[in-house]
Structure 1
Amino acid sequence: MARSALILVEGHRGSGPRYINAIQHLGLKPITLSSDPTQYEYIMSENLEAIRVDTDNIDDMIHECSRLRASYDIAGITGFTDIDELLYAKVGKLCQYFDLYGPNPESIERCCDKYTQHQLLADSGVPVPAYRLALNAADVESATAEIGLPVILKPAAGSGSTGVRLCRTLDELAEHTTHLLGEKHLWQSTPRILVEEFAQGPFYSAHIMGDEVIAIGAGDFGRPPHFVFREVTCPAPLTDDEHDRIADVSLSCLPALGLGWGPTNVELRWTKRGPVVIEVNPRLSGGVDPQLVQLAYGVDLITEHIKLILGDEWDLRRRHTHTATARFLIPDRDGILDWISGDSRAAAVPGVAGVELYVKPKTPIVRKSDYRDMIGHVIAASPSQAQTEAILKSAVDLIDWSITPFPPLGE
């Protein structure tokens, strides 16, 4: 009898090992399809099966999956990348081709275009910021004149806050427009810029499975004009009314975008007019969010996602209510990382649930003003928010590093 396998399209530094563990715990063999398996350290270190294939080519992936079916019972196919959501649309197409459970690829593709997403949400009465599409600098200027400063400039496709900036003046607007339309920003297709009203207020993130809101987290960013997460907490400190309003608005996004199967992540701001949807991600949130939800409520979103892929019954019941918070380590300068230490001592602090460093000594640090600026994180959890904050501070204070600035050009 052929062994059952679950195929993963590409990998993920944060969620990848957790998916591997969950798949193996359920008695399945994980097999990764990747354009470059060596980029995922956990695949190499654990000697996991991985197949090199052009994951941009759906026909090549169909060929590899068909070949694997000669040796394995393919129980499911999924992906969890939060860097290239169009890849997740290809996962949906693979599932359709092989008659497996998976997301609707057309819905994923619609969500990948932030302008189309805003249109569909607005047409369904979901509160979104004022927005315009711009194809050139003149479009950006006219759109900003209509919306009014300050505005957010962002690529109409992409994730991880790459290319996203708050523009408070015309000079900042011109500077970032030049950046996006110049050679510094890498476009996968024709440049399309979303000019968006700056929805001012606290940031929240709703984690949905199927048509049920499992958790609502809160996020805190570093200094503007960029949006690099400094801290994420689950659950968010909300009143019952605030929680219900955010949940209702988040769920209203599903029919508007044709979602409702599997995981969805909705990002919002609480403004003067209440919750406003900034973005809907038709996938499980990446990074530390699944771990925070599990620490906060005892719900393992990754395992339950895999159960859904397999066609099994999932269990989304909360086991407890704790407060879990992640603090990201972000350098304040570019240069060469001389050393970084204290992670072992931080991990030993009671209540710390995880410490991870993303870089090693002698690594060049070049800040990009997006998710790539993070060099590590610390996670703490306890029955109360105040206790979690105290644990986190004690642990983070034990970690330190040194960065030698790059020498001036010409030296």
Structure 2
Amino acid sequence: MNTSIERYAIIVDPYSSGSLFAAIFAQMGCKVIAVLSEPEPPDVYAASYRPDDFAAIYVAATELQDSLILQLRDYNPICMLTGCESGVELAEKLAPLVVPELSNDKELALARRDKGLMGQAVIDAGVPMMRQICSNDLSKVITWLYQNELVGNDLVVKPPKSASTDGVKKITKGEGLKEAFYNLLNHPNRLGIINDRVLVQEYLSGTEYVVDTFSYKGIHTVCNICKYIKLDNSNGMAIYDRMEWLSPDDPVVDVLASYAKEVLNALGICFGNSHVEIMLTKNGPRLIEIGARPHGGGHPRLCFIATGDSQVHRSVRYFAQNIIPPPKYQLLKYMTVVFFHAMQESVVTNIERLHALKDLPSFLDGNIHIREKQTVPATRDLFATLALGFIVLASNDQAQIEHDIYIVREVEAVVFLPIEDN
């Protein structure tokens, strides 16, 4: 291999939005090496895996670590980046050994994946954070509730290493905590990881946002900020209704951006992409969780249309061309993702009505993953939402988008026919 001529980027678990790196690096004359944490991608990411995109593929689970490190070093890579959530731990383990000058604080590596350690690191750094405990002992959780005067309050339980709201459940007034705790403990999440502990948090009220960032040399740049609108019901913690791109002139943007940067510093992030979910409460911003990887579901592709830029594009330009990214972003057009949801087990009918939504004036894109007469379960998490599909609306006219959202919901009501209880 002639590393003086060819340039290589390494992507760990290049699934979901991580699958976008290869084509964009190729445009810059760079080849991509894939490193997989397991021989096969998790089922939830399998459809996004394109092995033909890569100059070489290594499977960490079947390689001796020392051998793998030497092979990766031999490429003299320009960077090592995480593709999606399942690759965070491996990327954080390998980067200091392969590209030490381009890696994050290795002492905080586990805190960038484990939500229990994540919250504690943020607290230790003096950044405002919700109250939480992560334990495999319910008695310790109960003691913690009394100590924090949270007995009888609304709570949230979740796996410490899940993704896409998998396993996240709201516990109203603390009722059903024991059942929810043991339904998670020692059971696998959707990524195949056994929940060895359960994270219990106080329930936060407010508006949820996500701040997508790209960092270099410890400098954090904001690629976009979106607002989540969710439905809170008995099916799950909160079902995604839609997601809207915020104008950089929105007064909450600076507040959210400043807080996100404090969190990134607290978690020792120096290089790469992050996806910071924040609840803006009456007491100010509070971290929900952070993903030390790009925003999933192909979000960077949509972000590029809305803003002319994205996390993936900033990463590629910086590492392939040494182009310093701007600290903020611009909004070229209004954009909203409208997620489909079934409020109870349903049969799909009139599927052609969903496909006809492409004729809406603000229609940009759509993903419909269901078929006529298919039975679908009640939507309980983001994985289930994405299994149904979504519509992306974009326009220079916000009123047009609002009108088209109304049409989407009208159509959805005649497509998902509830199955009556026996």
TM-score range for the pair, normalised by the shorter chain length? 0.7 to 0.9
**Structure 1 CA distance, aligned partners of 2:138 and 2:260?**
33
Asked if 2 retains the 8 angstrom alpha-carbon contact of 1:206 and 1:215, the reply is yes
Asked if 1 retains the 8 angstrom alpha-carbon contact of 2:230 and 2:241, the reply is yes
Higher RCO (CA-CA < 8 Å; seq separation 6+): 2
TM-score, reference length from structure 1: 0.82
- Give, in angstroms, the shift of residue 307 of structure 1: 2.7
Partner of 1:201: 206
Asked if 2 retains the 8 angstrom alpha-carbon contact of 1:292 and 1:325, the reply is no
**Structure 2 CA distance, aligned partners of 1:58 and 1:384?**
53
Partner of 1:123: 124
CA gap 1:248/1:404 in 2 versus in 1, 3 angstroms: closer
User: Which digits, 9 at most, give the CA deviation of each residue in 1:261-320, with x for residues without a partner?
Assistant: 222222111212121222222222212532343233211321211233436214447454
Secondary structure at the residue paired with 1:228? strand
- 1:245 paired to 2:255: yes
**Structure 2 CA distance, aligned partners of 1:50 and 1:396?**
44
- 1:79 paired to 2:73: no
CA gap 1:338/1:108 in 2 versus in 1, 3 angstroms: farther
User: Which digits, 9 at most, give the CA deviation of each residue in 1:124-145, with x for residues without a partner?
Assistant: 2211112223322222333333
Identical aligned residues as a percent:
18
CA gap 1:307/1:93 in 2 versus in 1, 3 angstroms: farther
Partner of 1:171: 175
Asked if 1 retains the 8 angstrom alpha-carbon contact of 2:60 and 2:68, the reply is no
Asked if 2 retains the 8 angstrom alpha-carbon contact of 1:81 and 1:88, the reply is yes
Secondary structure at the residue paired with 1:218? strand
- Superposition pairs of residues 103-252 of structure 1, within 5 angstroms: 103-104=103-104, 106=106, 107-145=108-146, 146=148, 147-148=150-151, 149-181=153-185, 183=187, 188=193, 191-210=196-215, 211-224=220-233, 225-235=236-246, 239-240=250-251, 242-252=252-262
- Give, in angstroms, the shift of residue 103 of structure 1: 3.7
Secondary structure at the residue paired with 2:176? helix
- Give, in angstroms, the shift of residue 340 of structure 1: 3.7
CA gap 1:213/1:31 in 2 versus in 1, 3 angstroms: closer
- Give, in angstroms, the shift of residue 182 of structure 1: 6.0
Partner of 2:99: 99
Asked if 2 retains the 8 angstrom alpha-carbon contact of 1:209 and 1:264, the reply is yes
- Give, in angstroms, the shift of residue 331 of structure 1: 2.5
Partner of 2:287: 277
CA gap 1:159/1:94 in 2 versus in 1, 3 angstroms: same
Secondary structure at the residue paired with 1:88? helix
- Give, in angstroms, the shift of residue 192 of structure 1: 1.5
- Superposition pairs of residues 12-411 of structure 1, within 5 angstroms: 12-13=15-16, 15-34=17-36, 35-36=39-40, 40-41=46-47, 43=49, 47-49=52-54, 53-56=58-61, 59=64, 63=68, 66=71, 74-82=77-85, 84=86, 87-99=87-99, 102-104=102-104, 106=106, 107-145=108-146, 146=148, 147-148=150-151, 149-181=153-185, 183=187, 188=193, 191-210=196-215, 211-224=220-233, 225-235=236-246, 239-240=250-251, 242-310=252-320, 312-316=322-326, 318=329, 320-334=331-345, 340-342=351-353, 344-359=355-370, 365-366=376-377, 369-374=380-385, 375-394=388-407, 397=410, 401=415
Secondary structure at the residue paired with 1:156? coil
**Structure 2 CA distance, aligned partners of 1:157 and 1:209?**
22
**Structure 2 CA distance, aligned partners of 1:190 and 1:219?**
27
User: Which digits, 9 at most, give the CA deviation of each residue in 1:206-252, with x for residues without a partner?
Assistant: 12222122322110122334133221111169842x32222222211
- 1:11 paired to 2:14: yes
What are structure 2's unaligned runs of at least 5 residues? none
CA gap 1:405/1:387 in 2 versus in 1, 3 angstroms: closer
- Give, in angstroms, the shift of residue 376 of structure 1: 0.7
Asked if 1 retains the 8 angstrom alpha-carbon contact of 2:11 and 2:82, the reply is yes
**Structure 2 CA distance, aligned partners of 1:164 and 1:309?**
36
- Give, in angstroms, the shift of residue 3 of structure 1: 4.5
> Given residue 159 of structure 1, which amino acid in structure 2 is its aligned partner?
A
What are structure 1's unaligned runs of at least 5 residues? none
> Given residue 180 of structure 1, which amino acid in structure 2 is its aligned partner?
L
User: Which digits, 9 at most, give the CA deviation of each residue in 1:101-134, with x for residues without a partner?
Assistant: 6442723422212222222212222111122233
> Given residue 144 of structure 2, which amino acid in structure 1 is its aligned partner?
A
**Structure 1 CA distance, aligned partners of 2:105 and 2:63?**
12
Asked if 2 retains the 8 angstrom alpha-carbon contact of 1:352 and 1:378, the reply is yes
**Structure 2 CA distance, aligned partners of 1:258 and 1:16?**
21
CA gap 1:93/1:369 in 2 versus in 1, 3 angstroms: same
TM-score, reference length from structure 2: 0.80
User: Which digits, 9 at most, give the CA deviation of each residue in 1:10-48, with x for residues without a partner?
Assistant: 2324x245333322322334444442269744556x954
> Given residue 153 of structure 1, which amino acid in structure 2 is its aligned partner?
V
CA gap 1:115/1:370 in 2 versus in 1, 3 angstroms: same
| Greater mean alpha carbon deviation, residues 320-329 or residues 54-63 | 54-63
Asked if 2 retains the 8 angstrom alpha-carbon contact of 1:337 and 1:362, the reply is yes
CA gap 1:227/1:393 in 2 versus in 1, 3 angstroms: same
Asked if 1 retains the 8 angstrom alpha-carbon contact of 2:35 and 2:57, the reply is yes
- Give, in angstroms, the shift of residue 329 of structure 1: 1.4
Asked if 2 retains the 8 angstrom alpha-carbon contact of 1:150 and 1:167, the reply is yes
